[in-house]
Structure 1
């Protein structure tokens, strides 16, 4: 089943797909006895990619709240957005 992706979701999905590839590389490296340094560096890249995707999602939600107060697609208060933001900080 294919779901239409809007323009704001496409960069997030691309980032998450890249992170998935990096995570697969980390798993493969561990399974194949990869060097600790290489595994940790790759794992840090995965973590950073996930954080950036999360911040981008929150940023988009904040922009929608500010620019379109009538949008009820995913209603959140400023306090809820702040809490989400802080979970990534």
Structure 2
């Protein structure tokens, strides 16, 4: 399972849909725990990364082209974390 990543790259809950994405992510985390399914928590990964690198609080351009669709850096971040999940014994 994967949690949703971002819609907008601003930090500290400043994106319009952050509250909804957080709710969806929490539901997915609970399902993962309940059924013992692997979880790639993209929401957590993206928010932590953006908190460290998005010092100017940009809406886009760090991990996405337009706030939604991943750019090369966003795809690399997803690939690194997905690889960890799918190669776990």
TM over 0.5: no
Determine which structure has more spread, i.e. the larger CA radius of gyration.
Answer: 1
| Higher normalized helix content (fraction of residues) | 1
TM-score range, shorter chain: 0.3 to 0.5
TM-score, length basis structure 2 = 0.32
- Of structures 1 and 2, the one with the larger relative CO (CA 8 A, separation 6+) is 2
